Structure 1
Amino acid sequence: MIERKIIDIREVKPGDMAKIRGCEGLYEVLSANRTDPVTKLGVDFSFISQKYVFVRDSEFEYAIRDIKVPTEPGIYRDCIGDEWALFNDGTVVQLRRYEDSIESFAGCGRLPTSRAPYTRVDCSHE
């Protein structure tokens, strides 16, 4: 799992951990209200009397999201439809389709988090 830092409050989702100006630590985001002109996050502040408070844009610094990327060898399709091969030795290669063949495009050390979520491609031949 890899962490992603989110600096645009409009991208924050429930389950992310938010850093609030003037507060120490990170707090779990319970809701995100985007219907108001100003985005507000419902945040768990269980260390004080209220368990749930709203945080406005001006109070938001950033949020952290755990991004799950595959670690098991296999072929995976990313969020935009590109396919990647993950090998036993940890090598990752982006695959490109050309008519009836598949060619490798580029190798790297891990699947890019910016392309999550990934779905496993079934490569069984029947």
Structure 2
Amino acid sequence: MSAIPASVGPYPPAVHLAPPQIVVQTPPASGISTAAMVLGILGVLGGWCLFGLPCVLAVIFGHIGLHETRHGTKSGRGMAVAGLVLGYVFVGPMIMFTSMVFFGGLIGAATPTTNPTP
């Protein structure tokens, strides 16, 4: 009776291959979309002090960002939508606040003051 060496089995040794690496290149991010989102956040936090200008810019940049990301050549569509939503939600109150401050100042300056005579 002959002994079979322990290193030799009925099957050849298994070859372990590394799984193939899949490299997915993402499209570059749209800077305009990022600017729309940042300006929308600024409009929410400090728009009262800046008279709604960040909100208006967020709406403008958001529409430009949507146009840039339409065909998938650039990423950042969600940021453009976030900028649009924040801009549109806060642009109305900002315009009303700005007009109240502006027209209130005009009315106050145009109204004569009366001094009571003793």
Quick check: TM above 0.5? no
Higher strand share: 1
Superposition TM-score, scaled by structure 2 size: 0.20
Larger radius of gyration: 2
Higher helix share: 2
Higher relative contact order (CA 8 A, sep 6+): 2
